[in-house]
């Protein structure tokens, strides 16, 4: 279903572009003669956006179809929507995008009951009174008495839940005077199919992790996306509109907004693009703009012989990640084609490297550098660099997170392949995230093995192995040799994650995956969960 959601947009774009080519073959819609015709097309399209509930999505669709028809030289505001022409301010749905409840009038308990009733969940709750008691207790712990209620005190809740995997999320905020307190309630169903409230999230870090770009997109039924994004930005001001559009499943609109933000940053900065610091990759060349928190990755023309891959297979790996549940452990990727950068913003060293390693994908003129294909990811501190400067507590936390990342990925059938620390990053909240996908594999496709004992008389100094090795064979006991060369790092890893060095652990995960039992790595911490009877089950593994 997730794959269908992501691919649906591209299929509609392709269908539209083909229909235009078929039905308007006689019209000149590409090249120098098309200027007047295309300007009229855009002008007519703008007229159709009046009173449209999703003009930003309609503009994005226009751009997506246009770039399949136009030459890159025509990617300007005259022919496509580089800047929005329709405001999304104060567009709202009928009924409105969020509902308001007033505890001063009806009491907090009755207000929360109305919140749940108004969603009209079809399934019954296993024990709603119990859940309500726990939510009330959690709210009161967050707002200990005496808590002065102002005249405008209210609870505002978005009208549609956010769905992801096996959980629905009720998103809202508490307004009291000039203060606003965001909250999210996670709703799950038990083994009997009945609903229960599993968690209450109110801390900034919990909300940031839930809405992280390192997770799969939510499914949200929105008539007016801009109203939902505006609500979310009010409770998470550190998130950009581009990030939030992506989070609510409108990744193409988010991608369009991201590029607008990028152009805005370019026009308001003066630093130059440089080769990204750190260990150079064998598959990608990476560059960055120091004042901009992202990196730009381009697949090399000639990939090192030690990497048994090519450009097509690397792109397949990145497509796999885009369609997969990233469980907060794989950074989101933005894929672009024909990106034009100002020539004078490139350092000489970067331009020299690009022309040496990706000449087929770079076109240089006096005014611009066009990169034919690239990926954009949020910049993070590489784990290997983080460990070089970490104190004992930071090292222990990072290594525990590193192992947790491998286990979370394994739970959703992902094996990172290249486990070197340089391929993992540390986020601002101290979470470890994987970001180098060229060797990624489905866990169930791998063959996890123990190294057999050497035959009698084997020379320990020989470089030859005494056992056959297939392309998808993995020997977990070798992880210790090439990963844990630092004694302190080794000690931390063995304390928290010794099981990852045992082939039997990986084989056990494979058996669970092949059993068909639904698996969900929860998007929130155990501390945010509400009490549950032990017999009810955990309902999923909590994010560490």
> Are 256 and 331 within one domain?
no
In this prediction, residue 298 carries a pLDDT of 97
What are 196-223's pLDDT values in tens digits? 999 999 999 999 999 998 988 999 999 9
> Are 222 and 104 within one domain?
yes
Which parts of 412-486 fold into alpha helices (H)? Answer: 479-483
pTM comes to: 0.88
- Residue 456 domain-assigned (yes or no): yes
Contact criterion met (CB below 8 Å) for 247 and 211: yes
Q: CATH number, domain at 477?
A: 1.10.510
How many separate domains does the chain show? 4
Tens digit of pLDDT per residue, the chain (544 long)? Answer: 566 777 888 899 999 989 988 887 655 555 555 677 777 888 899 999 988 999 999 999 998 888 888 766 555 556 788 888 888 888 877 889 999 999 999 898 999 999 999 999 999 999 999 999 999 999 888 887 778 889 999 999 999 999 998 999 999 999 999 999 999 999 999 989 999 999 999 999 999 999 998 988 999 999 999 999 999 999 999 999 999 999 999 999 999 999 999 999 999 999 999 999 888 889 999 999 999 999 999 999 999 888 888 999 999 999 999 888 899 999 999 999 889 999 999 999 999 999 999 999 999 999 999 999 999 999 999 999 999 999 999 999 999 999 999 999 999 999 999 899 999 999 988 999 999 999 999 999 999 999 888 888 776 666 777 788 888 999 999 999 989 999 999 999 999 999 999 999 999 999 999 998 878 888 998 899 999 876 554 455 554 4
> Are 323 and 284 within one domain?
yes
> Are 212 and 102 within one domain?
yes
Helix axes 55-69, 35-48, angle to 10 degrees: 160
- Residue 450 domain-assigned (yes or no): yes
- Residue 424 domain-assigned (yes or no): yes
For 263, other C-beta atoms within 10 Å of its C-beta total: 12
- Residue 530 domain-assigned (yes or no): no
> Are 154 and 223 within one domain?
yes
> Are 217 and 232 within one domain?
yes
For the chain, how many residues are written? 544
> Are 360 and 404 within one domain?
no
Omega of the bond leading into 146 within 30 degrees of 0 (cis): yes
> Are 260 and 286 within one domain?
no
- Residue 349 domain-assigned (yes or no): yes
Catalytic residue among 332, 408, 436, 438: 332
- Residue 89 domain-assigned (yes or no): no
> Are 217 and 325 within one domain?
no
What are 473-516's pLDDT values in tens digits? 999 999 999 899 999 999 999 999 999 999 999 999 999 999 98
Q: Which of 211, 243, 265 is the last residue of a domain?
A: 265
CA distance 436 to 446: 18
> Are 118 and 237 within one domain?
yes
> Are 204 and 261 within one domain?
yes
Backbone angles phi, psi at 28, to 5 degrees: -90, 100
Which parts of 24-107 fold into alpha helices (H)? Answer: 35-48, 55-69, 103-106
Q: Which of 237, 265, 293 is the last residue of a domain?
A: 265
CA distance 189 to 49: 41
Q: Is 332 a catalytic residue?
A: yes
- Residue 541 domain-assigned (yes or no): no
Burial of 270 (0-12, 13-18, 19+ CB in 10 A): exposed
> Are 297 and 256 within one domain?
no
Contacts of 216 (CB under 8 A, 6+ apart): 2, 164, 165, 324, 325, 326, 327
- Residue 147 domain-assigned (yes or no): yes
Structural domain boundaries enclosing 146: 98-265
Q: Which of 232, 265, 298 is the last residue of a domain?
A: 265
């Amino acid at each position: 279903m997730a794959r269908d959601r992501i691919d649906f947009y591209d299929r509609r774009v392709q269908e539209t572009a083909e229909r235009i080519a078929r039905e308007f073959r006689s019209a000149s819609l590409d090249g120098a003669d098309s200027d007047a015709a295309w300007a009229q097309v855009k002008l007519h399209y703008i007229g159709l956006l009046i009173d449209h509930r999703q003009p930003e999505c309609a503009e994005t669709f226009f751009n997506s179809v246009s770039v399949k028809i136009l030459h890159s030289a025509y990617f300007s505001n005259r022919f496509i929507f580089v800047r929005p022409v329709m405001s999304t301010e104060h567009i709202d749905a009928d009924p409105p995008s969020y509902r308001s409840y007033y505890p001063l009038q009806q009491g907090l308990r009755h207000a929360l009951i109305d919140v749940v009733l108004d969603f009209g969940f079809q399934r019954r709750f296993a024990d709603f009174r119990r859940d309500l008691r726990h939510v009330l207790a959690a709210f009161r712990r967050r707002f200990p008495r005496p808590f002065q209620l102002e005249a405008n005190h209210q609870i505002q809740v978005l009208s549609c839940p956010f769905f992801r995997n096996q959980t629905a999320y009720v998103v809202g905020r508490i307004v009291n005077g000039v203060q606003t307190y965001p909250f999210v309630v996670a709703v799950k169903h038990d083994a009997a199919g009945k609903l229960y409230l599993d968690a209450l999230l109110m801390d900034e870090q919990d909300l940031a992790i839930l809405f992280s770009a390192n997770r799969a997109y939510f499914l949200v039924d929105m008539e007016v996306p801009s109203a939902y994004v505006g609500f979310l930005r009010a409770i998470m001001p550190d998130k950009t509109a581009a990030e939030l559009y992506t989070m609510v499943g409108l990744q193409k609109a988010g991608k369009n907004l991201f590029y607008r933000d990028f152009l805005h940053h370019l026009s308001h900065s003066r630093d130059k693009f440089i080769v990204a610091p750190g260990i150079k990759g064998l598959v990608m060349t990476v560059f960055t703009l120091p004042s901009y928190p992202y990196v730009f990755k381009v697949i090399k023309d000639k990939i090192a012989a030690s990497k048994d891959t090519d450009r097509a297979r690397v792109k397949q790996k990145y497509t796999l990640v885009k369609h997969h549940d990233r469980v907060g452990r794989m950074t989101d990727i933005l894929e672009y084609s024909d990106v034009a950068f100002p020539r004078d913003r490139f350092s000489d060293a970067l331009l020299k490297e690009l022309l040496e390693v990706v000449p087929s994908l770079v076109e240089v003129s006096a005014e611009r550098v066009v990169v034919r294909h690239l990926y954009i990811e949020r910049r993070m501190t590489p784990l290997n660099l983080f460990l070089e400067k970490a104190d004992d507590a930071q090292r222990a936390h990072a290594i525990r997170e590193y192992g947790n990342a491998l286990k979370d990925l394994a739970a959703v059938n992902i094996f990172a392949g290249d486990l070197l620390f340089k391929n993992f990053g540390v986020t601002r909240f101290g979470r470890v995230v994987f970001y180098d996908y060229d060797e990624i594999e489905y866990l169930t496709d791998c063959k996890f093995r123990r190294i057999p004992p050497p035959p009698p008389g084997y020379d320990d100094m020989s470089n030859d192995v005494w056992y056959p090795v297939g392309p998808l064979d993995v020997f977990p006991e070798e992880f210790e040799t090439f990963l844990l060369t630092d004694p302190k790092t080794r000690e931390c890893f063995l304390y928290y994650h010794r099981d990852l060095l045992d082939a039997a652990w990986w084989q056990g995960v494979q058996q669970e995956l092949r059993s068909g039992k639904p698996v969900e790595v929860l998007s929130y911490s155990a501390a945010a969960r509400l009490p549950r009877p032990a017999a009810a089950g955990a309902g999923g593994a909590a994010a560490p």
